[in-house]
């Protein structure tokens, strides 16, 4: 008897007789892609950015430059319909690696 019931349910399900029509999901707005700042720069821009950071003498100068540079990257990301990722990448301690500190021995180590 059970065998007959199981076969009947399987056939009905495969033929679409028992299964209800799935309710279509409401169309969600496409999620904006999150990108790193580096992904928005050309290789030459990246090299110049690194040189500029290395040339600055104090942490305060570097912080001010990073804030200004980030504003430029946020504007560029917005033009492309993207979202600029928070944090400075591996230095933030949120990248994979031992103890969450990344391979560079950063904040999480």
- Note whether residue 57 is domain-resident: yes
Count of domains in the chain?
Answer: 1
| List of residues 6+ apart from 49 with CB closer than 8 A | 41, 69
Task: Write down the pTM of the prediction.
Answer: 0.52
- Note whether residue 45 is domain-resident: yes
Handedness of CA 85, 90, 93, 68 (dihedral sign): negative
- pLDDT of 34 reads 80
pLDDT in tens, 38-55: 888 999 999 999 999 999
- pLDDT of 88 reads 59
pLDDT in tens, 79-100: 989 888 876 554 444 444 454 4
User: Which domain does 73 fall in, by range?
Assistant: 32-88
- pLDDT of 92 reads 45
Task: Pull the structure tokens for residue 47.
Answer: 């090299």
């Amino acid at each position: 008897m059970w065998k007959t019931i199981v076969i009947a349910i399987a056939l009905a399900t495969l033929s679409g007789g028992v299964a209800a029509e799935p309710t279509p999901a409401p169309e969600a707005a496409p999620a904006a892609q999150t990108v790193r700042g580096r992904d928005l720069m050309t290789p030459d821009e990246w090299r110049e950015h690194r040189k500029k950071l290395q040339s600055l003498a104090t942490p305060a100068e570097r912080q001010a430059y990073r804030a200004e540079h980030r504003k430029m990257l946020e504007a560029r990301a917005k033009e492309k319909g993207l979202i600029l990722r928070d944090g400075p990448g591996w230095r933030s301690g949120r990248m994979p690696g031992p103890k969450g500190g990344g391979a560079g021995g950063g904040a999480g180590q």
